[in-house]
Amino acid sequence: MTRQRILLVDDDAAVLDSLAIGLEDRYHVLVARNGAEALEVLRQQSPDEPVDAVVLDLYMPVLDGEGFLREYFARGGAVPVILASAALDLGATADRTGAADWLQKPFSLRALEAKIDRVTAARPPAGTGGTPPAAPSGGTSEGGGGGGAPRSRRRDSRPYEISTLVVAEIASGQLPVLLGL
């Protein structure tokens, strides 16, 4: 069975590094440092290797957690999101924004894993032929007149400037380098 893919979003290098190291024993971990980078990671996810859950900080530069949730759900995103923040009233924030669950910092790795397992169990297993959340609308208008044109993989092959993003896969061992740790 393939490991579940978890996207960690936090602007604090130490929080990101420690959680990534902690989770990598059980999950395939991706990281982003703000909401904008997280949206980019989710947009680029391949249908064969979808992200199973997002662990999201709230206060971040560029695009904060709430901004991310608004934007992501407006795009039809369906991956469950767990708020993980030092902010107060996370329960109310989760209810308001549609986040699946929440944890207030400081929390234990064990608690986070339990939340991840809970929110991912509530969804059909990913990557087993079931249809991962297909990109809704959006892409279809790109072709203009080509009504019957087969839906291409264009979204995935678009030359994103991945180098400008700090999106590292822990497995590649790049994260500590990128974080300067």
Partner 1 sequence: MAEALLSPAAYRLLVEHSPVLIWRAGPDGRCDYFNDTWLRFTGRTLDQELGERWAVGVHPEDVDRCLRIYRDHFGRREPFEMEYRLRRHDGVYRWIFDRGVPVFDAGVFVGFVGSCIDIHVRREAEALRSSFLSLIAHELRTPLQAIHTYLEVVQRRIERNEALPTDVWEKVSRQIQRFSSLVDDLSEAGRVERREAVPVERVAMDLRPVVEAAVRRQRDELAALPAAAAGRHTVTLEVTGERFPLLGDAERLDRVLEDLIGNAVKFSPAGGQVAVRLATDGTRHRVSIRDDGIGIPQAEIDRVAEPFFRGSNALNPRFPGVGLGLALARDIVSAHGGTVEVESIRDRGTTITLNLPELLPEGVS
What Cα–Cα distance (Å) separates residue 55 from each residue in 8, 10, 29, 95, 163? 5, 8, 10, 16, 23
- Closest to partner 1 by CB, 21 vs 135, is 21
Q: Is 67 in the site for partner 1 (CB under 8 A)?
A: no
103, 104, 108, 113: CA torsion to nearest 10: 10
Q: How far is the CB of 178 from partner 1 (least distance, A)?
A: 5
Nearest C-alpha neighbor of 83 from the set 116, 50, 108: 116
Q: Is 17 in the site for partner 1 (CB under 8 A)?
A: yes
Of 3, 13, 44, 71, which lies in the binding site for partner 1, with binding defined by CB under 8 A? 13
Find the part of the chain contacting partner 1 (CB under 8 A) among 42-50, 69-77, 149-157, 161-169.
161-169
The 10 Å Cβ neighbour count of residue 180 is 7
Find the part of the chain contacting partner 1 (CB under 8 A) among 13-21, 47-55, 116-124, 128-136.
13-21
Q: How far is the CB of 92 from partner 1 (least distance, A)?
A: 15
Q: Is 135 in the site for partner 1 (CB under 8 A)?
A: no
How far is the C-alpha of 50 from the C-alpha of 128, rounded, in Å?
11
Of 1, 48, 106, 131, which lies in the binding site for partner 1, with binding defined by CB under 8 A? 106
- Closest to partner 1 by CB, 81 vs 175, is 175
How far is the C-alpha of 175 from the C-alpha of 75, rounded, in Å?
28
28-32 and 5-9 strand pairing: parallel
The 10 Å Cβ neighbour count of residue 92 is 10
Q: Is 109 in the site for partner 1 (CB under 8 A)?
A: yes
In the complex, the residues that contact partner 1 under the rule CB under 8 A are 11-15, 17-19, 21-22, 25, 33, 59-62, 64, 86-88, 104-110, 164-166, 176, 178-181
